A = this chain, B = another copy of it.
């Protein structure tokens, strides 16, 4: 089959109504409740197509319409499907989907760390690029929390007293780049809390640098995602900065997708909604 034929076959595989309904769902996801006219202009679909689609989606509770405002919003059917999808993917499955997006743009091996106890961290999963030359780590490896950027991502959210206790027990010199001064280590940790990501340049293993960011839940790191690369790859600050920001972004996206904090009128995250309606 020629490339053209492959493309044509691939196109023929698509069901237009599904693609169109995705346009509607994405518009609602992005903009919140929209009326039919807004949906038409956001999706570029005809008014009648839009109408048939939302009617059908409303029946499946993928969207719901507000009787008063005549606007459509995402429905309870999606809450249930999203819940089932999360069960099927698992936490790691969800964060890994976001990591896949980074494979193209960052020449790194992605490692997911979980904290075991105050002083130790375990590697619980990884996403590796397919090319041969890369830094790799065995799953299940246990690492000391002072070891690299990953550890600082956990420590940054600990109580300062607890951090001092861990650090006062002594900072190990893994390489000549390891930070062994407690005050310098603490200032690195402060930097992590401000930026939302951490950098380690050959402080844990010579020739290997890591940028890492925590995925937070209720303000605490649930897990940490690290991008492990050859030191040369992370030699310039612009790359480090870009990687740090991207890791921060995907951790935030995964966190939002997994742990919703509905705002507004629910009255369950702050005051009580006592309005008479």
Determine the chain B residues whose CB is within 8 A of the CB of A62 once the complex forms. Answer: 22
A residues contacting the other copy or chain, number (CB 8 A): 74
**What sequence of 0s and 1s flags, for each residue 55-98 of chain A, a beta carbon within 8 Å of any chain B beta carbon?**
11101111000000000011110111111111111111110011
Q: Does A223 contact B (CB under 8 A)?
A: yes
Is there an interface contact between B17 and A18, defined as CB atoms closer than 8 Å?
yes
Is there an interface contact between B60 and A116, defined as CB atoms closer than 8 Å?
no
Is there an interface contact between A53 and B266, defined as CB atoms closer than 8 Å?
no
Within A23-70, the residues touching B (CB, 8 Å) are 25, 28-29, 32-33, 51-53, 55-57, 59-62
Within A89-120, the residues touching B (CB, 8 Å) are 89-94, 97-98, 114, 116
CB distance from A86 to the nearest CB of B (A): 5
Decide yes or no: A82 and B88 within 8 Å by CB, A53-B15, A138-B276 being known contacts: no
Q: How far is the CA of A9 from the CA of B268 in the complex (A)?
A: 41
Is there an interface contact between B258 and A79, defined as CB atoms closer than 8 Å?
yes
Q: Does A21 contact B (CB under 8 A)?
A: yes
Decide yes or no: A273 and B125 within 8 Å by CB, A15-B52, A17-B18, A33-B88 being known contacts: yes
Is there an interface contact between B78 and A81, defined as CB atoms closer than 8 Å?
yes
Determine the chain B residues whose CB is within 8 A of the CB of A92 once the complex forms. Answer: 265-268, 273
Is there an interface contact between A84 and B74, defined as CB atoms closer than 8 Å?
yes
Is there an interface contact between A124 and B84, defined as CB atoms closer than 8 Å?
no
Partner pick for A78 among B51, B61, B78, CB 8 A cutoff: B78
Determine the chain B residues whose CB is within 8 A of the CB of A29 once the complex forms. Answer: 80-81, 84
Determine the chain B residues whose CB is within 8 A of the CB of A86 once the complex forms. Answer: 79, 82, 260, 262
Residue of B nearest to A78 (CB): B85
A-B contact pairs, 8 of them (CB 8 A): A13-B52, A18-B60, A29-B84, A83-B256, A91-B262, A91-B266, A116-B272, A122-B272
